Amino acid sequence: MTQFGYFLACEEFTPDELLDQAKRAADAGFTRLAISDHFHPWNDAQGNSPFVWSVIGALSQTVELPVTTLVTCPTVRLHPAVTAQAAATSSVLLDGNFTLGVGTGEALNEHVLGDRWPRHAERADMLEEAVEVMRRLFTGDVVSHQGRHYTVDNARLYTVPRVPPPVYVSAFGPNAAELAGRIGDGFVLMGPERELIDVFRRSGGAGKPVVGGLKVCWDSDRERAVDTVHRLWPSELLPGELGQILPTPTHFEQAAQLVTRDQVAESVPCGNDPDDHVGAIRAYVDAGFDEVYVGQIGPARQDFFDNYRKAVLPALAA
């Protein structure tokens, strides 16, 4: 049976707001949390980007819901050994209820130390090696590694969970879905694309979880909701690989000028009709997702939680 979680958008909200949303999500009946890992927001209007590992530590003391990163890039800005330590500690704090979602990342977040931004094929190779390194470190053994991309010299994690955290791999195309099936404990996909799930299943992902989700804007005024999404999250509708290669929020703002209000209205559930929200989420269920995470855009957060508790989540459960 599909589980429904709440998505915490670090790009849009302060740490205190994220913690408050987590508590409201638990009260509303969401059974899991996902959280983004960014150095920058997608645009200046979003206005936030706290360090995800600090927020996860605070979440562990605030709610009792499992937490998944959607997603962390363990290859450029953070070395996989450092990411492994952060993930292991998070899993200990969450009593094992932590999943490390990983991906090849975006230049937006990973260029900040001045590193070269590789092409996707190389980034995928880096991710595969990084996952190998992290899994070895999760054992608590001493690890030395000299690979194509990373060196680890006599490193040992002393704080490790009883069971290593599962590593779910994100993908936006068939090659990445094949990699996810081959090396991942699960698959992260942000749209209900059954074809990519089939690739994942054929490539070693049979029986493994598929997770992902969507953003919505609950508001009593649908036009205002469309305006809110168009102002804060037009990046959701940018095509192709732009999301991976544009380096700054300013570049995303420039590209997002091509996104129209009509596109937002057609693509993002906006307003207060429960059927619109249920239909958008059910598309993920029908595609075979095991976990679907929903994030509220904009300020009407209590209305969102109240109405999801009363109408949307019960309809999905039925």
Give catalytic residues, as residue numbers: 38, 106
Q: Which two tokens stand for residue 160?
A: 């490790």
Across-strand partners of 33? 6, 67
Contact 133, 150 (CB under 8 A): yes
The Cα 45–Cα 208 span in angstroms is: 37
Q: Do the bridges between strand 3-8 and strand 151-155 make them parallel or antiparallel, or are there none, so unpaired?
A: unpaired
Smallest CA-to-CA distance from 10 within 62, 61, 89, 72 is with: 72
The Cα 46–Cα 142 span in angstroms is: 42
The Cα 256–Cα 251 span in angstroms is: 9
Contact 37, 71 (CB under 8 A): yes
Indicate the length of the chain as a whole number. Answer: 318
